[in-house]
């Protein structure tokens, strides 16, 4: 049990194991003692990092069994800041007024602070850039994220600066444009050439086994979410060439907006996005059939070749339809140009 009189100053905590702890795993017992703010996974990480000691001896084995009277010491981690701080991170701004800001997000930039990414995010950059022009989202001066792009997906994003804009844009994205002027188009460079120039992928998505990725799942599953993607083949590469891997440039338009939707749907029909580290690994060796220097460029691509090319929406104040486009970033444009030479 917790011995409150033995808690050390600062970030050190001590716990004394009672009779009920005898024979219990260290990670299981400590997670219960630390309370709901510490998941078992987080406790296991602390143990493996050497932050936990039993009877003054460091322990890194999570399955260590306790004995009655054991003194468990934990070097508590510094708490993360409750609110993200502004950081001077360059932004490619396409438009800005007192209600919203539209940016061309580069690949590699995380949108929102979270586990493992508390700094260096788009939100940190916007807090610094917008400053006092943020009138507040929910009473706090922070940018209102109404939609997201994956860390390694580039392209157009809109962010609200006021509660009014946040509410209007959130409703538009939740409705997926059925009642308004919302339009989203992505460009994806994929393996293989689809047999049809246009098509619709209607397949529900849910959590995969690792709970981070998504997968096409039966619609009867509890976590199944309706997901529809419409696609058009823009260009085809290597068709009929035995010595070259086939690929295609596709435009995808979302009817729904699920996590990783385009990436999962394209992989599901056999056309994973080139460079996708989560859903395209089974096709990684196809790059071996490409000529140089294209082969080296594809193999060196550090992210999925997916770009949010177009975003159109109704302005929450003027009610005018605004339309923004961002050209392919240099890494994708260079590879596409080399594919065209096939």
- Alpha helices by DSSP H, listed for the chain, are 26-34, 40-48, 122-130, 163-175, 261-268, 294-300, 330-340
In the prediction, which pLDDT does 82 show? 47
d(CA 189, CA 297): 13
Residues 179-342, CATH architecture? 2-Layer Sandwich (3.30)
Nearest to 185 by CA among 103, 280, 306: 306
The verdict on whether 150 is a catalytic residue reads yes
Q: What is the pTM assigned to this prediction?
A: 0.74
d(CA 140, CA 160): 13
Chain centroid, CA 90 distance in Å: 20
Nearest to 148 by CA among 94, 120, 112, 192: 112
In the prediction, which pLDDT does 267 show? 97
Rounded to 10 deg, the angle between the 40-48 and 26-34 helix axes is 120
In the prediction, which pLDDT does 287 show? 93
Chain centroid, CA 271 distance in Å: 21
In the prediction, which pLDDT does 280 show? 93
Residue ranges covered by each domain of the chain: 4-75, 83-175, 179-342
- Of the residues 37, 98, 132, 150, only one is catalytic, namely 150
DSSP H/E element including 325: strand 321-325
Same fold, 4-75 and 83-175: no
What is the topology classification, in CATH, of domain 4-75? 3.10.290
From first to last of its 342 residues, the chain has per-residue pLDDT tens of 444 333 333 478 899 999 999 999 999 999 888 876 567 777 888 898 888 999 988 899 999 999 999 999 998 776 554 478 899 999 999 999 999 999 999 999 999 887 777 789 999 999 999 987 886 665 566 788 999 999 999 999 999 998 889 889 998 988 775 666 899 999 999 999 999 999 999 999 998 887 778 999 999 998 899 999 999 999 999 887 776 789 999 999 998 889 999 999 999 999 999 999 999 998 989 999 999 999 999 999 999 999 999 999 999 999 999 999 999 999 999 999 999 988
* 306-314 and 154-160 beta bridge pairing: parallel
In the prediction, which pLDDT does 7 show? 37
* 57-58 and 71-75 beta bridge pairing: unpaired
In the prediction, which pLDDT does 210 show? 76
Q: Which two tokens stand for residue 270?
A: 């056999």
134 exposure class (CB count in 10 Å sphere: 0-12, 13-18, 19+): buried
What is the topology classification, in CATH, of domain 83-175? Pseudouridine synthase (3.30.2350)
- Residues comprising the chain, all counted: 342
Beta carbons of 194 and 248 less than 8 angstroms apart: yes
In the prediction, which pLDDT does 243 show? 64
């Amino acid at each position: 049990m917790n011995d409150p009189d033995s808690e050390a100053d600062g970030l050190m905590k001590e716990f004394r194991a009672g009779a009920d702890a005898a024979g219990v795993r260290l990670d299981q017992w400590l997670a219960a003692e630390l309370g709901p703010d510490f998941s078992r996974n987080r406790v296991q990480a602390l143990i493996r990092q050497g932050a936990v000691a039993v009877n003054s001896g460091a322990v890194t084995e999570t399955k260590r069994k306790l004995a009655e009277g054991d003194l468990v010491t934990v070097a508590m981690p510094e708490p993360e800041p409750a609110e993200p701080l502004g950081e001077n991170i360059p932004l490619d701004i396409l438009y800005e007024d007192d209600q919203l800001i539209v940016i061309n997000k580069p690949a590699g930039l995380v949108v929102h602070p979270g586990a493992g990414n508390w700094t260096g995010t788009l939100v940190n950059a916007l807090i610094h850039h917008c400053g006092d022009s943020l009138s507040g989202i929910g009473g706090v001066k922070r940018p209102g994220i109404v939609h997201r792009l994956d860390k390694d997906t580039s392209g157009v994003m809109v962010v609200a600066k006021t509660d009014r804009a946040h509410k209007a844009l959130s409703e538009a994205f939740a409705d997926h444009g059925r009642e308004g002027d919302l339009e989203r188009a992505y460009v994806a460079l994929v393996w293989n050439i689809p047999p049809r120039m246009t098509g619709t992928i209607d397949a529900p998505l849910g959590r995969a086994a690792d709970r981070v990725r998504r997968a096409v799942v039966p619609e009867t599953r509890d976590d199944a979410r309706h997901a529809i993607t419409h696609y058009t083949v823009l260009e085809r590469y290597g068709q009929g060439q035995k010595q070259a891997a086939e690929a295609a440039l596709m435009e995808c338009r979302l009817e729904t907006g699920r996590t990783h939707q385009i990436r999962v749907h394209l992989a599901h029909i056999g056309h994973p996005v080139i460079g996708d580290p989560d859903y395209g690994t089974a096709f990684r060796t196809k790059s071996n059939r490409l000529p140089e220097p294209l082969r080296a460029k594809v193999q060196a691509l550090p992210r999925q070749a997916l770009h949010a090319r177009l975003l159109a929406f109704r302005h929450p104040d003027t009610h005018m339809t605004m339309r923004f486009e961002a050209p392919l970033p240099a890494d994708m444009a260079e590879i596409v140009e080399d594919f065209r030479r096939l």
